[in-house]
Amino acid sequence: MQQSNAYIITFSVILTVFLGLLLSGTSQVLGPLQREAEALDKKKQILGAVISGEEISAMTPEEVNQYYTSRIASVVVDINGQEVTEQDGVAVSAETVDIAKNYKRPADQRLYPVFIYHAEGNSDDVESYIFPLYGAGLWDAIWGFIAIKTDMNTVGGITLAHAGETPGLGARITDPTVQSRYVGKTIFDESGELVAVEMQKGEGKDYTSNPHQIDGMSGATITGKGVNAMVKNYLEHYKAYIESKKSSQAVAAL
Amino acid sequence: MSAETIEKAIEKKPAEALLSKRRKKLVTDPLVDENPITIQVLGICSALAVTTQMKPTLVMAISVIFVVVMSNLVISIMRNTIPSRVRIIVQLAVVATLVTLVSEVLRAFAYDMYKELAVFVGLIITNCIVMGRLEAFALGNKPYDSVLDGFGSALGYSWIILTVAFFRELWGSGSVFGIPVFDYVSGIFGPDFKLATNGLMVSPVGAFIILGLIVWVQRTKTGYVEH
């Protein structure tokens, strides 16, 4: 009887339905907690571009949320640097813009959130502007946040993350020592052209004299190229916004 | 009358002790003599991949223990109802469900660990230790014995990956469980004394070397020879 086709089919159906219900039930129960954890993680990544990872990991989730609310303001802009408040009749906020979804659209139709790191409680006293990044690594998506100081030229910090780069090689983009190589580099050359910061091939060389180049990751040249393309592309997309901030500063200086 | 005979029948066969000699062997055998990693050479992939640091390794070990024990239990309970022609698929479905549960729970309660381990937790499904124990033991034994057997095997796996992780983190990053041991030691001997870390240990090559050394030491001691 146990070997009859009818038994096998009945057994499989019951098992499938039972396991399916179990899994969907778990997903329903844990869903809110997971979304909360993801939102917190995103905040940590944004803050990671401006404060050190150790400081962040020392904070409790409540402290991260509180720090984030008191120090980060945000706007959403379009490719021309104009502020966007709603799209298709729905209000937009920087926190809810899904960078990965926007990445699939043509560059001139995407929404570009900007996270503004400012002095505590005073959103006019800006310390740096944080721009999201998104692109392709060797195997899967890579993303991150880059902080540009108020001179709209110097990199204040960067956080990078990935979906599936090779552990020990491309996955090293999450390594603080790799990310710290970006700090203090500049994104515009003397003639005002946007050149971004490029990770070089090979590792162990000194690039302190070159403001647009940083040491690479040995064995992860393709991931490095992906990071370079991502940084360059997104700084291009934010260029209009960056230029507008630059000129408003020039006016303020007069 | 019939009730009496049943009672007698039960009395005649006293229940095996909760931790009888045979059952203890189920747990202790896989620790050294039948170790899944060093003797059976199963589950090497994750042993190499997750062991750069102690903390994710510990989470991985706990996940594997949970999955192996639970799948052994479930399959053992169902062993007489599973049609033998589809048993592999049934085992796979149970294991995959358990692994998905683990990964969902990690995602909700330990998101940082989830990010670090996501791929490898998913790969527990293909860890040969899990399917191996189901096929070799749980399908033919009672639930309690199967749980012990699964626990033993998973423990054998765990202590090896934790040992590998200990040396890799100590020599590669100069810390244990994130505590900077090398910095403390350097501090004792003054500012000129500095312990250097070895980058090789952080790369997968380091895991091969450490694992090879463990296998060597173990086989020298036990005299195990592969035929």
Count of Cβ atoms closer than 10 Å to residue B171 Cβ = 19
Give the C-alpha distances (Å, rounded to integers) separating B158 from B61, B66, B117, B164, B166: 5, 11, 15, 10, 12
CA B171 to chain centre: 23
What is the β-pairing status of strands A126-136 and A141-149? antiparallel
Neighbours of B102 (CB within 10 A): 23
How far is the alpha carbon of B184 from chain A, nearest alpha carbon, in Å? Answer: 18
Instruction: Label residue A104 by pLDDT band (50, 70, 90).
Output: confident
CB within 8 A of A150, min separation 6: which ones? A126, A127, A128, A129, A245, A249
CB B204 within 8 Å of CB B49: yes
Find residue B179's DSSP bridge partners.
B176
CB contact under 8 A, B49 and A167: yes
How many whole angstroms separate alpha carbon A31 and alpha carbon B45? Answer: 30
State whether residue B52 sits within 8 Å of chain A by CB: yes
Determine contact, residues B161/B191, Cβ cutoff 8 Å: no
Are the beta carbons of B86 and A41 separated by less than 8 Å?
A: no
B24/B152 Cα distance (integer angstroms): 9
Residue of A16, A22, A37 with shortest CB distance to B111: A37
**Distances B97 to A27, A81, B43, B91, B94 between C-alpha atoms, Å:** 12, 47, 19, 10, 5
In tens, the pLDDT along B40-73 reads 777 777 777 788 888 888 988 999 999 999 999 9
Query: What span, in angstroms and rounded, lies between the C-alpha atoms of A116 and A183?
Result: 18
Domain boundaries, chain A: 72-253
Q: Does residue A164 or residue B191 have the better pLDDT?
A: A164
- Integer angstrom CA distances of residue B139 from A8, A156, B149, B154, B188: 17, 59, 12, 17, 56
pTM confidence score: 0.77
Question: Measuring CA to CA, which residue among B50, B41, B29, B218 is closest to residue B129?
Answer: B41
Contact present, A26 and B101 (Cβ < 8 Å): yes
Residues 6+ apart with CB under 8 A from A78: A84, A108, A110, A111, A112
Residue A1 has pLDDT above 60, yes or no: no
Tokens of B121: 């937790």
CA atoms within 13 A on the CB side of B27: 13
How big, in percent rounded to 5, are the helix, strand and coil portions of chain B?
75, 0, 25
Closest Cα partner for A160 from A185, A139, A134, A183?
Answer: A134
Residues of chain B numbered 145-164 and touching chain A (CB < 8 Å): none
Q: CB-based contact (8 Å) between B203 and chain A? A: yes
Asked whether residue A86 carries a pLDDT value surpassing 80, the answer given is no
Cβ distance B203 to A168 less than 8 Å, yes or no, reads yes
Cβ atoms within 10 Å of B120's Cβ, excluding its own = 20
What is the model's pLDDT at position A131? Answer: 92
- Encoding tokens for residue B35? 């170790």
Q: Which pLDDT score, from 0 to 100, does residue A250 have?
A: 66
Confidence of residue A230 (pLDDT cuts 50, 70, 90): very high
B72-104 pLDDT tens trace: 999 999 988 888 888 889 999 999 999 999 999
The pLDDT tens digits of the residues spanning B161-214 come to 899 999 988 888 778 887 877 777 777 777 677 777 777 787 778 888 888 898
With a cut of 50, say whether residue B1 has pLDDT above it: no
Interchain pair A30, B107: CB under 8 A: yes
User: For residue B118, is pLDDT > 80?
Assistant: no
